[in-house]
Every structure is written in structure tokens, then in C-alpha cells.
Structure 1
């Protein structure tokens, strides 16, 4: 029996199809194992691991392609935007090095192809099953394409493309855009929703024929369901309705796809729970952290913990909220994984935690903040969230502290009512300490005392504004003119109130300890709901 590699270059090319990638110069066999995706930077030293695919951004000449092939060493392939400048020397170099030259369609962006390749490498569909195996969604799509003589996509409930057949170049630009982005473009989703096609699709247990009037090829669609639960759908680009026999073939395939989606969901849930348990062990520190880090493939030195939490969301349904959290965490895992192969992320409760290894450059925490800000910029406004960044952990023993730091920074952002913000612990240290002190005060059921309590009682009894006057005075650092402007009274009136509050409370404003004590009480207790 021949054991083929887990993710061969041939398999990836078959799954993507010539719509996205084509072989411009072949080294011969294409069964090389693909281990990862890397982006070419002419300013960095080119160090490619065995089996890597190099995205050669900006490389367009035969001479530069030959130079990359010579330097790429044990890589699986080099991707260049079409049209690829290939001559006999390039072909000879591809054969000599064993590195394939692949042409990327000009309609695709580098970000799209990078995400596409990484998602394929992350899927279990690249295990080289038999082409007719029902355990492979891409195989199912190709088999259905052959039966129906039309290109096929399999999509989830959110119109994300899970798999697609070959021959997509026979369809329309909208289908090509869908395959490249692995997502039905929003304008098409809105059009289908506005015309009631989704409602018709999900109510029917038979294929439906959709006539499009925007110049696109018509579609036949079939809902994929398990009982009454909609799992996804199958879309076929056709110019006329399917015959009865082909409709039955589509309906039968939908049942097989449903089984595969249920199996995949169960496996994904199990995998996510395992990753969450392992990452929780790493975050807790202790004697089991090293073993958990090893099983996760997480680095064990110079780590920083990110704590990310969605701050918005219109869904009232708990299942939808959980689904949003999981998609958000998946996006975070992809983001940090692209930065460092030994990073990891998992959802623990409602918070997505990421453990990010950092190089010893002296500004590790600042770099972690930039990573968090970059991530929020990429996912917003689809996922509005806050991220707390912990201090650098030199080893696994300090990861628990970094996690606590990140949690406290995240809590400060929640207390501020922030949305779409990033905070590192050192930047919000004092606010975090105040929140911790507030917790202690609440747990021990403590109440205001001394001058602050007397001022609160006087304001409550007489309807006066002595506490706001004191707060404005302290916030303005004793500047009466600035403080009076804050509370919108004349400076002389403000001085009178200041004199009255010192008489009533007994507060000595010349005493720095007294000023600190009353300032802290105002910050901890506030003025609401105390009397």
C-alpha cells in the first residue's frame, strides 16, 4: 500500500482548481507534502522549511523566478501572479530543485490565496482519501459536478464555501469571486434574501431553481438538513432546470453532505474542547502546563497572553452568541498563527485567549499590543471586541500572571464602556488596582467614612452639590477658575461652596493624605445608590 502525504501539492491543486492556481513549471511529480504557507519578503533572509509554499509577491520576471527557485531549497512550490514569465531556464531550474512554479489568477489577492491555502491545510479533507469517498466534501462536490454536468459549491448556513468542484471557470464572475473569497459576496446574499430565495430554499425539501436577472448564470439550490435543522446548502450553476433524475441525484448527495457536516461538527467541537482544556492548563501554569504546551505545540518561553472578548452583538439567542464567539476565536487563532507557528488560541467561557510567542527585541509588550490592534482592525466591524494584553512571561511559570494581567486590562476596558479597544496591563495598572480594591470593598460590605460620608449625607439631605464641587476642585488640582468652569458656577460661588464643604466635612485640603483618602473614596464608591 502506498501512503501518500497528508497534504500533497497535487491534492491542493485539485481542490483549488485551475480557477485559482495553475502549474506554470512542473518539477515532475507533485506529491510533495505541503507543510505551510509563507510570504516572500526581499528584505528578509529566505529561510523556507521543507514543503513550504512561497507566495512570491511582486516577482514577475523569469530571472527573479529562477533566483527564488534556487534559494527556495526544499520548498513545495513558488506562487507567482499570472501571466507567469516562464522560459526554458525556469523549467530546467524547477526540475533541478524539485520546486513547482504556480500561477495565481490576477483576480485573486495575496491575502485571499494565503487564507485559502491555510484553511485547506487546516482541514481534514487533505488526507488523500479515495476520490469517491463520501468523507471528503471536495470529492462530493466533484462527483456531483460530474453527475449534473455543472460546477458545484457546498456552503454552510452563513454562505461560507466549505468545498467546491472543478469547472468553476465555466460559471460567472460572481461564482469565481465566491470561490476565491470562500464566502458568497454580501451583495449577492442581500439580493437572494431580498427576493425571498433563502426562505424558499430553507422551507423546501426539494431542489429549487433560481432565475437571476443580473447577467449571472441561474442556480439550482438544495438545502442540506438534519431533521428540521438547516446545516447548509448546495448550489449548482445551471442554465436551465435540472431533469428529474439529476434533481434526485442532488437530493441524495445532500443527505451524504448532511452526514459529513454533522461528523465534521462533532469532530470540530471535540477538537475545540480539547484545545480549550489544554490552553486553560497552560494559562493556569503549574506542573501540567509544560505537557499541555507540548501537546498544543505552544512555545514555552517569552510569551504574552491576549484576552479578547466581544463587546457588541445584536443576537439575543444564546446559540447565536456562542457561534459568534467561536467564529471570533477562530479568526484570532488564524491571526496569531500566521504571526508565529507556535501560537495558540481557544475560547474559554466568553473570552478568547491567545498565547503569543515574542522575539527578544526589548519591546515585546508593545509588539503584542500592535498585534491586537491589527487583529481588531481586520475583523471589525464584523466582530466588535476589546482585547487586554498581559505582561511578558519569560517562561510557562509566569503565564498565569500574564493571563491575570490580560483579564484585568480587559476588565478596565469593560468598566470604561469601551468598544474596539486594546489595553496593555501596564497602561491601565492603576485603574485595575482600583477595580480590585472595589471588589474588596464590596465583598466586605464597606461603606464611605469620614469627610466623604459627611458630604454625601449633607447632599442627600439638603440637595446641595458639595461632592461635585470637591471632585471638580481635586480634578483641577486646586485651580479654582478651572474647577468652577467645570461645574458651571462663578469662581466666587465656587470658593463659598469650597469653604462650606470644609466646614461641614472637616476635610483639610492642605493635607495630602486627606486629599488622597477622599479621592480614593470618590473613585471607589462614587455617589450613586449609597444612601
Structure 2
């Protein structure tokens, strides 16, 4: 089990839920106990189990194990024993009927409750049902549901009475925050499934539709598509900042949006936006001290040395810094970028803190190495492309072990982003590390050295590269050095005759006095030419 994935804990105000209560409320068509089980065991949360990882502290956690079907009985018994030792409330799995007896024996020997899920129940739907029963409601993210979503449900019901169809209010992550329950409302299978899972079902049309809705100033009408009823959608905003969307099934059919429908959507959006904004402010109030600490770390000004402790990040193994950059991003896009980053990183890195700073977003979380941070960053790339904008770059730096090192890490992250953006053909990829752009960093640092120290620069080479009449000679000299003095390869790369190469090299030596008879001279010449910006077109 990935140690970074801590179980979602039930708030203290919510009564304890026992294993027997969960099984009873889900019903035998969804889940059944195999073998003996401690009916009074309190379940405090759920977590998906990765059988390849070690199981850490899982006290009271119900472990969902989608990948156990291929395990041998002996291996499954070992996993169950480890889960029992970690204090898990139970292990949830799918199995064929012929394995039930063996799994019952495992439950008997380990003392761990083994729960079998019906094949027709998807893991995502099961997790959503368990979350609802446990009262978690995405507590880690402090979503609007935590503070009472009754106003949103009222908005949805009022809108549904006008449209005659089911209404859903969603956040930017496509979680369904509230939905209508008006008797006789038109509803389709897609909306029903979304309400059950409290999340919009996947569809190949989703990305384009959401992008269009969030960018439009007017309600958008989507006609009937297969089994999906026609819908009217509108963005929820606070000023220019998008907060979510409203989707109303239109029982009147595929006709255009009427003025009254548009006005009601705008009114509902304003009410929903006020509620979501209040929640964001409440969440921001609790997060602001952490964000202030990160801003202090990023600037390196007025450090106290206790910032890591205040953020809950241990100095060992240290922290990783991620820097996010969206090309030509507007302030709205940067705000949405930060919101998306924190919402999704905190699912796997609960100690994450993120801020927008000078047009970029920076996130800090505990990590023992760059590889660990890269693994956390990679899944964000397609998500950010979809929600924020194409071409987002992520720089990964770390680990850093003390407060005073974060500002330097931020400067390095900025350099990584700039190096990757300036040289898109470098192969650095979308998640940029020091190793992926190190040659570029070396050249940049050498250029700084040459700029600050006249004695390091050869005046003859400087004149050669600066004079437009000898730019071809400088280019030829650079390529010849890169080809290790091979005239034939140089001519081939430049697309000229070999004699042309020889002639240009003689000009460099005879007219400028440039001597390249020793390896150290050749290295120094190549570095100076690269630092001066001489390139082969």
C-alpha cells in the first residue's frame, strides 16, 4: 500500500459505523461477508489497496482490493494477514464461486473480515456508496458538501421545476455537489449513474463540452445524443474565476435556449456561486497560514527556520517542489491551475500546500527524492491539459531539507521551465527534471560566466560570431567542433562541399588567428560559440 495514501477519516461529529451496518445497508446484492467477521468492528475510512506495496497503518480502514483476482490462495492469505496486522477493518474483493471456501478459510485463520463484491458493481460505484454511508463526502478537500449543501439542493430543485428535467450542480473536478429530486422530473441513465456515484460518468464528449461551457458567457444547449436527453449547461463563476457548472435536462426538447431559461440559469448560477465562494473562503481561511508559509519559503525573506515544522513536512526525508507553468496564462487560468493542482495532489499527498506566485503555481509536499515527486506529477499532465490548457509544463526539484533551500529550489524550477520552453525539441518532456535539461543548464551557466568575465572570452571568437560577414564561418566552426573535426560530416550537416568547410576553417585561422590545435582550445571555443548563441540553423 502506498504510505502516502492515508485513509480518509470520518469527522468526529459523525457516529461510528460498524462493519455489520455497512454490509446491511449495502445489501446482499452488492456485498456479502465470506467466513467469520467482527460485526462490531468500527470502519473509519476506505482505501484502495495496491498489493505491490507494503501495508502501513490501516487501523479501521476497509481495504478495497481490485487486483486480487489473479493472486494465488497463498499470496492472498499473506496479503490478508498483513492487512490484519495493520489493523484493517476488512478486505473487499471480487472472486469466482469456486474460491469462496478458500477465502472463508483465510478469514478464519487471519481474523480479518473478507467481503465479496458482486461482479456487476464497479469499484468506483462501490467506493462512492461506501463514502456516502461513512459520511466522508470528500472530507479531505473540504468540499461544499462538508458545510451543508442544502442551499445547492434547493437551487437544483427550483431549476428542475422550470426545466422539467433533472438538474445537477458540479464542481470543476466534475463531482456532483447537489442534484434535484422533483417528482416527475425527466431523467436519463447518465444522470442517474452520476447521482449514484456523485461524479459525472466518463464520456468522449466531456472534455470539449466542459471547455465550451466554462468559456461561454451564455448558457449552452446540447441536443439529444443517443440515450442522453437534451441539456442546458452554464458555468458557475465568482467574477472571472470558474467554480463549477450547472446542467439541466430540458424536458421541452431540442429547441434553442429561451430567454427565460437563460435568465433562470444565470440566477441559479449566481446563487450557487455565492455558496461555493463562501466555502472557498472558509477553506482558504484554514489554508491561508500554510500558504503564507510557502510564499515566505519561495521568496526566502524573513525565514524563521520553523516553516517545515509548521507545514507538517519533516526535514528528513525532505520535500519536493513542483512548479507549474501554462503558456500565455491569464490570471484566471493561473487561479484555475492552482485550484486543480491542490485538489488532485492532496488526494495522494495530504500535506501538499500550493500557491500562485508571479504567474506560476508552486506546490510543496514531503518526498524523499525526485523520482517520487515525478511519479506524483505525471498523472497531472493530461488532467491540466483538459481543465486548464494545453502545453502545461511541470518542473520537479528536490528533495530540499531545510527552509532556506526552498527559494533556491524555486529559482532552479524556474530555470528548468524556461529551458524546456526555449528548447521544445530537447526531449525534456512535460515533466521536467534537472537531468532532462542538464546540457542546457550547463550552457546557460557558462554563458553567465563568459558575460561576467572578459578574460574568459577569446576576442577573436567574439568578433567572429558578432560580425554578420563571418556568421557562416562561426557556424561552420561550431559544427566542425561538434563533429570532432570530421570535415565530411561537417559538410553533410551544413549542406555544403567539403572544400567550403576547409576554406572557412582557413579563414578563421588566417584572418582571425583562431587556433584549435589542442583539445582544451577546442572545448573552450565550442563553449564560447554556444554561449554566444551561435547555432546551426
Map Cα deviations across residues 44-99 of structure 1 (whole Å, 9 max, x no partner).
443333343422223469x9699579717644665445999999x97xx89x9897
Cα 1:519–1:331 change in 2 (3 A) is farther
Are residue 329 (structure 1) and residue 341 (structure 2) matched?
yes
Q: What residue is the counterpart of 1:484 in the other structure?
A: 491
Are residue 175 (structure 1) and residue 197 (structure 2) matched?
no
Deviation of the 1:500 alpha carbon:
1.5
Cα 1:436–1:213 change in 2 (3 A) is closer
Cα distance in 2 between the residues matched to 1:191 and 1:422: 24
Q: Flag structure 1 segments of 5+ consecutive residues without an equivalent.
A: 242-246
Normalising by structure 1, what TM-score?
Answer: 0.68
Cα 1:201–1:331 change in 2 (3 A) is same
CA contact (8 A) 1:141 1:153 kept: yes
Are residue 305 (structure 1) and residue 320 (structure 2) matched?
yes
Deviation of the 1:304 alpha carbon:
4.6
CA contact (8 A) 1:306 1:353 kept: yes
1:426-441 pair list within 5 angstroms: 426=435, 428-439=437-448
CA contact (8 A) 1:279 1:293 kept: no
Deviation of the 1:465 alpha carbon:
2.0
1:87-166 pair list within 5 angstroms: 103=117, 106=120, 108=122, 113=127, 120-125=138-143, 137=152, 152-156=167-171, 160-165=174-179
Q: What residue is the counterpart of 2:464 in the other structure?
A: 455
Which residue of 212, 215, 227 maps to 2:224?
212
Q: What residue is the counterpart of 2:59 in the other structure?
A: 50
Q: What residue is the counterpart of 2:5 in the other structure?
A: none
Are residue 71 (structure 1) and residue 84 (structure 2) matched?
yes
Q: Does 408-417 or 228-237 show the bigger shift?
A: 228-237
CA contact (8 A) 2:447 2:528 kept: no
Which residue of 510, 513, 529 maps to 1:503?
510
Which residue of 276, 289, 306 maps to 1:291?
306
Normalising by structure 2, what TM-score?
Answer: 0.67
CA contact (8 A) 1:24 1:86 kept: no
CA contact (8 A) 1:80 1:102 kept: yes
Which residue of 406, 409, 417 maps to 2:413?
406
Q: What residue is the counterpart of 1:279 in the other structure?
A: 294
Cα distance in 1 between the residues matched to 2:208 and 2:352: 39
Cα 1:303–1:477 change in 2 (3 A) is same
CA contact (8 A) 1:332 1:354 kept: no
CA contact (8 A) 1:391 1:424 kept: no
Q: Flag structure 2 segments of 5+ consecutive residues without an equivalent.
A: 1-9, 254-261
Which residue of 331, 348, 361 maps to 2:357?
348
Map Cα deviations across residues 137-161 of structure 1 (whole Å, 9 max, x no partner).
57976999999998642124x6833
Cα distance in 2 between the residues matched to 1:486 and 1:332: 47
CA contact (8 A) 1:309 1:386 kept: yes
Cα distance in 1 between the residues matched to 2:242 and 2:383: 29
Cα 1:219–1:520 change in 2 (3 A) is closer
Map Cα deviations across residues 113-164 of structure 1 (whole Å, 9 max, x no partner).
59x96981323358876xxx556757976999999998642124x6833414
CA contact (8 A) 1:301 1:395 kept: no
Report the aligned-residue RMSD.
5.7
Q: What residue is the counterpart of 2:422 in the other structure?
A: 415
Cα distance in 2 between the residues matched to 1:385 and 1:135: 37
Q: What residue is the counterpart of 1:244 in the other structure?
A: none
SS across alignment from 2:484: coil
Map Cα deviations across residues 320-345 of structure 1 (whole Å, 9 max, x no partner).
422442245236624xx52x554544
How many aligned residue pairs are there? 488
